[in-house]
């Protein structure tokens, strides 16, 4: 019950290239408690720019985690716009999680947080504090996989409080979840106001056949955003859940075959909504931007009604967002590119293609509609800024997914 997952990190030349851009990788380096945290802090302060901290498979524990995030949250640490932090298998407990929550609260730069296989207990007040910090951050991806002690207490506190519009990917596989958590999960994924996930992974739990069936039914009826869902290995594990009558392989395959077209539907509607939003923007600019001598004397309401036929897949709220954006002069793109080197938008080429003829030391710049990014895809690039800008705009106007309301 899945779709394509996130791409894995590569080693060799790619890793070397990323390290020059602020990539600190201390995975499995024997970092321990406060001393290990201070070692990491020294590495950070020795660099002008740090965007990724990969610290998995160490023993920072609560004490080291608190010291590290106390620094990251200080004025000296805040100047580093870290986008990704990985703390897998670091023996971090609830005190460390609260330190992470403090750093996360109001953070507009951290987008990916990996916390697999730690010692979080699932204590409700701690989880609620952590969840509220997510709500006031720009975090897009969170992994809590293999935190087996979280269990149903975690689900009740987490999903009932979660309402982040930025969180797009959530991993809660092997976290001790049972069928008692199903109502909380269903309530969350059925709420278009609260759930903005594109990817949800909940493998290796004990939800059971009936709970998984109800979750899939909720997605079919009420969720048009999710495009990747994994619910593998959710057979019942305890005798107290023996009322779950359907558990043979055939029944699970039926559920998988039911989920697949639902996710395909959501992906199709997402592409349609994005295409309609971009098309509507083009014509709304021409029609709605005020001019001194406009030949159009139609009332605004009638103009908006006519424009609505150009974007039939968008809801009224989505069309209003696009038209409001299009009718404002301040949203027009600049005529000249930015000259500031830190803000110059470039496309990052694939490091493995740099040795190809014609690709040596090549960087594709965004130069309006005549540049290499005009189509939204850069030839040989692993990061296209034009595509990133387009994605951010679709999120800003609420058109990154179909609105079924």
Domain ranges of the chain: 13-268, 272-289+296-405
pLDDT tens digit sequence for 88-97: 999 999 999 9
Determine the 3-state secondary structure of 13 from DSSP. Answer: helix
**What does the DSSP 8-state code read for residue 228?**
E
pLDDT for residue 388: 81
Which pLDDT value is given to residue 290?
74
Average pLDDT over residues 367-392: 60
- For residue 142, what is the enclosing H or E element? strand 141-143
Residue 68 · residue 85 · CB < 8 Å:
no
Least confident range from 145-154, 195-204, 263-272, 293-302: namely 293-302
State pLDDT tens for residues 219-246. 999 999 999 999 999 986 554 445 555 4
| Two structure tokens written together for 131 | 């969840």
Sign (positive/negative) of CA torsion 54, 60, 62, 67?
A: negative
* Sign of the alpha-carbon torsion through 282, 403, 194, 84: negative
Beta bridge partner(s), residue 383: 348
Q: How far apart are the C-alpha atoms of 157 and 131, rounded to whole Å?
A: 8
CB atoms within 10 A of CB 354: 14
* Average of per-residue pLDDT values in the chain: 84
Average pLDDT over residues 162-170: 97
Q: Is the dihedral of CA 354, 360, 363, 364 positive or negative?
A: negative
* Region of poorest pLDDT, from 147-161, 204-218, 316-330: 316-330
Q: Encoding tokens for residue 277?
A: 């939003």
Cα–Cα nearest to 93, from 133, 64, 55, 56: 64
- Considering only 101-105, 167-171, 296-300, 309-313, which range has the smallest mean pLDDT? 296-300
pLDDT, mean of residues 266-292? 89
Tell me the per-residue pLDDT of 28-84, one tens digit each, with 9 for 90 and over: 999 999 999 999 999 999 999 999 999 999 999 999 999 999 999 999 999 999 999
Dihedral over alpha carbons 228, 229, 233, 238 (to 10 degrees) = 160
Q: Binning pLDDT at 50, 70 and 90, where does residue 22 land?
A: confident
Look at residue 361 in the predicted model and tell me its pLDDT: 45
Q: Find the angle CA(262)-CA(5)-CA(351) to the nearest 5 degrees.
A: 140
Q: What are phi and psi of 385, to 5 degrees?
A: -70, -30
Q: Output 399 or 3, whichever has higher pLDDT.
A: 399
Q: What is the pLDDT of residues 381-391, one digit of tens each?
A: 556 677 888 88
Give the residue ranges of DSSP H helices in 11-119. Answer: 13-19, 33-45, 61-72, 75-78, 94-104
Q: Which CATH superfamily is domain 13-268 in?
A: Ribonuclease Inhibitor (3.80.10.10)
Q: What is the pTM of this model?
A: 0.83
């Amino acid at each position: 019950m899945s779709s394509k997952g996130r791409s894995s990190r590569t080693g060799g030349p790619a890793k070397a290239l990323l390290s020059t851009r602020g990539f600190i990788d201390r995975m499995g380096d024997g970092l321990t408690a406060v001393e290990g945290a201070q070692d990491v802090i020294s590495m950070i302060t020795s660099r002008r720019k740090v965007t990724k901290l990969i610290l998995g498979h160490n023993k920072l524990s609560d004490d080291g985690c608190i010291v590290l995030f106390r620094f990251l949250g200080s004025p000296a640490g805040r100047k580093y716009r870290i986008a990704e932090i990985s703390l897998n298998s670091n023996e971090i407990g609830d005190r460390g999680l609260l330190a992470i929550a403090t750093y996360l609260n109001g953070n507009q730069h951290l987008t990916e947080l990996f916390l697999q296989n730690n010692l979080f207990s699932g204590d409700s007040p701690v989880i609620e504090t952590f969840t509220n910090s997510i709500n006031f951050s720009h975090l897009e991806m969170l992994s809590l996989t293999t935190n087996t002690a979280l269990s149903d207490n975690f689900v009740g506190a987490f999903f009932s409080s979660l309402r982040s519009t930025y969180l797009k990917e959530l991993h809660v596989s092997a976290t001790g979840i049972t069928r008692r958590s199903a109502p909380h999960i269903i309530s969350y994924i059925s709420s278009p106001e609260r759930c903005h996930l594109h990817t949800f992974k909940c493998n290796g739990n004990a939800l059971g056949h009936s709970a998984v069936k109800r979750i899939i039914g909720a997605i079919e009826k009420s969720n048009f955003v999710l495009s990747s869902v994994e619910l593998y290995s959710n057979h019942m594990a305890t005798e107290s859940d023996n009322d779950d009558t359907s558990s043979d392989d055939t029944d699970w395959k039926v559920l998988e075959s039911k989920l697949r077209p639902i996710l395909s539907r959501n992906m199709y509607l997402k592409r349609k909504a994005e295409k309609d939003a971009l098309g509507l923007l083009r014509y709304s600019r021409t029609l709605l931007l005020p001019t001194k001598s406009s030949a159009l004397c139609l009332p605004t309401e009638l103009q908006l009604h006519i424009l609505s036929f150009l974007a039939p897949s968008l809801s009224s709220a989505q069309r209003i967002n696009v038209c409001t954006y299009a009718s404002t002069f301040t949203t027009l793109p600049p005529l000249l590119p930015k000259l500031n080197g830190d803000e110059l938008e470039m496309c990052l080429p694939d490091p493995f293609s740099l040795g190809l003829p014609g690709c040596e030391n090549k960087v594709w710049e965004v130069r309006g509609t005549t540049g290499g990014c005009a189509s939204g895809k850069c030839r040989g690039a692993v990061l296209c800024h034009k595509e990133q800008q387009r994605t951010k705009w679709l999120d800003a106007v609420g058109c990154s997914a179909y609105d079924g309301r």
